[in-house]
Structure 1
């Protein structure tokens, strides 16, 4: 995955979130992806990696100190715009996106209304990608977390993990069972699976409207 950011990646680092940037970048490089929204963009590292592959990229971040760091990182990225706002307050006007991303940010928000708004802001055929955190509630959650521990630690050592990058964090509230249920109701056909680094990966492609179909 590191092939995506070895060149020109100023201030890059690795942690359990950036481990999945390659997964996102592979979608961003598709021909049907032009305009991207990064929800909770943090210090802008993912946007820095996305910018060379898309037409426009918008990052929103509610924490003023964090987005100031993003502005410093992205000062010479002419196709990236940043807004200090929450996703709830975010108003893009008539703009719609081909790719909307949440990396370790969805659990900061109300799950169902956030997914509903994200779906509405996607163009038909657009992609929603979530690298998410879920709470351990059931025995299987704890068993799988413990089983992943040695592999996650090996990955952290190999990549020299930067654990704390100085951005606001929050503990997840919903279990993966709840997230599966609610996301399936809002996003029919979504795919969701557990990742190695205590994350789940959710992706959904918004249906393309066809003649005679109801608007999405």
Structure 2
């Protein structure tokens, strides 16, 4: 079963996870800038070891942080003992019972490529309060020569950041093998596919390409919706 494979992959990755710089954390500040300065309730889908959940907890009364991997949640709880606002839950988001108009913000980092995105977006829209923000960062597949050209900048920048920001981190062969095994079966959308999916489901959604093989989707639910 596909869900079981993802759970097993991330249980394995969690054993070796080190929270240094990566292609996702590079955009944490960008993602935070898309959110309100203060939120009552925030949902973090695919929270991993809770690095971004802890940043969210600084501006929210409550953060519900969900991950499919029990090991990831175990590590997240260990690292978040000083953050009582975070409610970590082991759950399959496709089976999770979404509350109606509950969240001021919903965020997800490098997770939705594992999910049937169009079905998920309907649930996320329902779960947001009027005026609430949906902010997603995910991986992107090359679509054009222009996309491939962007690698000429991304590759050396990646080396620079890895060298200087992660110089204190040495990945074990087990960690490298665990991530390679997971990435072997990962599939991503192209930019035009992402734009089509988001704008079809969420009127006014803003989808943009970023360096380091990522895209963001930002959408605000109309405050006029009763």
Answer yes or no: same fold by TM over 0.5.
Answer: yes
* Mean CA deviation greater in 99-108 or 159-168: 159-168
* Mean CA deviation greater in 75-84 or 118-127: 75-84
Instruction: Find out whether 1:102 has 2:108 as its counterpart.
Output: yes
CA RMSD of aligned residues (A): 2.4
Helix, strand or coil: the match of 2:131? Answer: strand
Is there any run of 5+ residues in structure 2 with no aligned partner, and where?
1-17
Helix, strand or coil: the match of 1:99? Answer: strand
Query: Quick one: structure 1 residues 126 and 88, their matched pair in 2 at CA, closer, same or farther if it must change by over 3 Å?
Result: same
In terms of fraction of residues, the more helix-rich structure is 2
1:149 aligned partner: 155
TM-score (norm 1): 0.82
1:200 aligned partner: 215
* Mean CA deviation greater in 20-29 or 174-183: 20-29
Aligned partners of 1:54, 1:104: CA distance in 2, in Å?
22
Is there any run of 5+ residues in structure 1 with no aligned partner, and where?
1-10
Q: Which of 191, 197, 204 is matched with 2:206 structurally? A: 191
Q: Which of 120, 123, 134 is matched with 1:128 structurally? A: 134
Aligned partners of 1:206, 1:122: CA distance in 2, in Å?
7
Contact 1:107 1:134 in 2 (8 A): no
| Number of equivalences | 200
Aligned partners of 2:200, 2:33: CA distance in 1, in Å?
27
Aligned partners of 2:32, 2:189: CA distance in 1, in Å?
27
TM-score (norm 2): 0.79
Correspondence list, 1:1-216, <5 A? 12-28=19-35, 30-31=37-38, 33-94=39-100, 96-160=102-166, 169-170=182-183, 171-209=186-224
Query: Quick one: structure 1 residues 22 and 29, their matched pair in 2 at CA, closer, same or farther if it must change by over 3 Å?
Result: same
